[in-house]
Copies of this chain bind each other. A is one copy, B any other.
Amino acid sequence: MREVKIGFLGMGNVGSGAYRILRDNADVITHREGIKYTVVSALVRDKSKSRGDIPQQLLTTEPDDILCNPDIEIVAEFLGGVEPARTYILRAFENGKTVVTANKVVLANCWPELEASARKHGVGLYYEASVAGGIPIIRTLYSSMQANRITKVMGIINGTTNYILSAMSSQGRSYSEVLAEAQRIGLAEADPTLDVEGLDAAYKLSLLASIAFHAKVPMKHVYHEGITAITKQDIAIGKEMGLTLKLLAIGKKEDGQIQVRVHPTFIPDSHPLAAISGATNAVYLDCDALGELVLSGQGAGSMPTGSAVVSDIVYASQQQKHAYNTFKNDDNIPEISFNTNWESEYFVSVMAPDKPGILAAVAGIFAANNVSIASMVQKRTGEERVPVIFLTHRCRELNMKRAIEGIGGVEGLSVSGTIRVEAMS
């Protein structure tokens, strides 16, 4: 029986999950695939650190024990970040090794360079684990959506923010309160910036949109806006209107223009993504032949993400010839461009004195900026200034920005929240 030897770069949360799966499920994997998979070496920073059931003799602090080991066919990279991951991956390629990575950051930053090197050396680059943990969205896009023009990819692809928004929504608690709890139970980092500012989701969206639209979507084109300014009041008012708040990663391709954006988004309660709560992830695709497809599951964690890594290892080892992307913008096809002045519906919350004439003033500013109001609700709170909520029809982002500036410039008025609304497709 063929044996595939694997070297790990890193043996942390995801690495140890992948290691345990390859060890504990070796019987089913080998029977099904006809191949034996063996982890022969793992790069760590500190060999003396206790790692439970991970055998000490696997560990090394010398990268070349893996990158230059002629027995190793596949290198699995779990280091995270750009360097030294990039350098190690390139060295693995030069030495004829296929690389499986869980590292969205190195991919989003260095994909063209990595892919060119893999192609040059005839080896494979696989990255199922880099987006949405265990959900097999990358393989689905490559191996099941070939028939389709994908027009929309939309995802809840950051578990931390979904946990925070779900708890704010179901328990009526404030952002800071729920964030503190998420940090306590290990669902949010001590420095939560990457998650709560939408940057983690933006990295993933850059990868997803590139594959879905068959065009390289560099990070610099991905707009991202986090959840730190979301108030429990906005969530509560949205709820009354049948809307659920999510941090959505949205990619759309309309008339050859791509828009990619991560921001808090209201969706109708009946939307397939509205019920995805807690740390669960989901990705929604809209395609011309297949229609809508939704995949949901565990987007993080040692075993789910380990499952994606092992799936890539098995898949990679079975390819006689590795596939590479042929992105449209590699060929300088002119039709691809990026659009930041997208159209959306908006939820706008304005704090205003509770007196006649205010609605007319705000409505006038919206109209002057070509923003059409779909509905309006004025809350009576007994306070001097009350929230007035506007839901708009589809309008352009820049028109909305100008309207908000205009409203903010009127004495006594302030915009307390602007949240994009994604209607059902």
Contact A298 B290 (CB under 8 A): yes
The yes or no answer to A236 lying at the interface (CB within 8 A) is no
CB nearest to A274 among chain B residues: B275
Contact A296 B298 (CB under 8 A): no
Residues of B within 8 A of A311 (CB): 143-147
Residues of B within 8 A of A29 (CB): 146-147
Q: Which residues of chain A from 367 to 420 have a CB within 8 Å of any chain B CB?
A: none
Contact B320 A303 (CB under 8 A): no
A153 to B301, CA, bound (A): 22
Residues of B within 8 A of A307 (CB): 145, 147-148, 287, 289-290
Residues of B within 8 A of A294 (CB): 294-297
A128 to B306, CA, bound (A): 26
Q: Which residues of chain A from 307 to 322 have a CB within 8 Å of any chain B CB?
A: 307-311, 314-315, 318, 320-321
The yes or no answer to A272 lying at the interface (CB within 8 A) is yes
Instruction: Please encode chain A, from 4 to 47, with 1 for each CB lying within 8 Å of some chain B CB and 0 for all others.
Output: 00000000000001000110010011011110000000000000
Contact A328 B297 (CB under 8 A): no
Count chain B CB atoms within 10 A of each CB in A128, A147, A293 and give the residue with the most.
A147
A415: shortest Cβ distance to chain B, in Å? 34
A365: shortest Cβ distance to chain B, in Å? 39
Chain B binder among A54-62, A134-142, A196-204: A134-142
The yes or no answer to A228 lying at the interface (CB within 8 A) is no
Using known A-B contacts A32-B326, A321-B320, determine if residue A147 contacts B290 with beta carbons closer than 8 Å: no
The yes or no answer to A304 lying at the interface (CB within 8 A) is yes
Contact B310 A34 (CB under 8 A): no
The yes or no answer to A288 lying at the interface (CB within 8 A) is yes
Contact A290 B134 (CB under 8 A): yes
Residues of B within 8 A of A357 (CB): none
The yes or no answer to A149 lying at the interface (CB within 8 A) is yes
The contact of A289 among B31, B310, B314, by CB within 8 Å, is: B310
Contact A147 B306 (CB under 8 A): yes
Contact B304 A146 (CB under 8 A): no
Residues of B within 8 A of A144 (CB): 128, 136, 139-140, 308, 311
Residues of B within 8 A of A173 (CB): none
Using known A-B contacts A145-B311, A149-B28, determine if residue A297 contacts B303 with beta carbons closer than 8 Å: no
CB nearest to A33 among chain B residues: B146
The yes or no answer to A323 lying at the interface (CB within 8 A) is yes
Residues of B within 8 A of A315 (CB): 143, 146
Q: Which residues of chain A from 267 to 310 have a CB within 8 Å of any chain B CB?
A: 272, 275, 287-298, 301, 303-304, 306-310
A22: shortest Cβ distance to chain B, in Å? 8
A44: shortest Cβ distance to chain B, in Å? 22
Contact A135 B214 (CB under 8 A): no
CB nearest to A27 among chain B residues: B149
Contact A31 B214 (CB under 8 A): yes
A287 to B135, CA, bound (A): 12
The 3 closest A-B pairs by CB, nearest first: A136-B144, A147-B310, A320-B320
